[in-house]
């Protein structure tokens, strides 16, 4: 059986590739805000988790989540177009939900472009509920759909996992 990808925590050297994926896959049409330096800050941060799915020594997908006392915020999640619809996004979310649960987090919140129908459907399929709209959230130009998921107790995710 072929391994689709390997999940692991991001390393400092991953910051430029993650930032470029964010610019091209998430921030298109907006000013680039998730620069390599900002991504590096989250990779090194004690209150954040940056996880990557590697395929053929490249990052096929990534997610960045920030943790607080009882909630977490999913800042970014992207899957390279060639690897979409193969379960990588769901695996990243499973990892993050397990990590959050282990940390005592009870809810994960996120925002996505209100017009992103595919993203909206993906997150709904993963158990996220729509909770509101944030008008002109993205650089005063685009509205965001706010979504949230309550977590059940589960097993922690640590180390690498083969998919």
What is the fold of 6-108? Aminopeptidase (3.40.630)
pLDDT of residue 5: 79
Is residue 114 pLDDT above 80, yes or no? yes
Domain ranges for the chain: 6-108
Is this structure's pTM higher than 0.85?
yes
- Read off the pLDDT of residues 66-84 as tens digits, 9 standing for 90 and up: 999 889 999 999 999 998 9
Q: Are 143 and 103 contacting, i.e. CB atoms less than 8 angstroms apart?
A: no
Q: Which of 14-23, 37-46, 131-140 has the lowest mean pLDDT?
A: 131-140
Model confidence at 3, pLDDT cuts 50, 70, 90, reads low
């Amino acid at each position: 059986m072929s391994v689709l990808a390997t999940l692991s925590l991001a390393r400092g050297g991953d910051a430029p590739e993650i930032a470029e994926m964010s610019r091209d896959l998430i921030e298109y049409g907006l000013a680039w805000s998730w620069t390599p330096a900002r991504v590096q800050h989250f990779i090194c941060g004690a209150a954040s988790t940056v996880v990557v799915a590697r395929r053929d020594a490249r990052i096929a997908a990534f997610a960045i989540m920030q943790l607080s006392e009882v909630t977490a915020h999913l800042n970014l999640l992207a899957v390279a177009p060639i690897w979409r619809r193969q379960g990588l996004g769901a695996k990243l979310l499973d990892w993050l939900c397990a990590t959050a649960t282990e940390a005592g987090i009870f809810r994960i919140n996120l925002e996505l472009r209100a017009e992103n129908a595919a993203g909206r459907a993906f997150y709904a399929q993963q158990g996220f509920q729509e909770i509101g709209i944030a008008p002109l959230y993205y650089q005063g130009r685009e509205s965001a759909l706010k979504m949230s998921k309550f977590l059940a107790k589960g097993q922690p995710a640590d180390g690498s996992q083969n998919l």
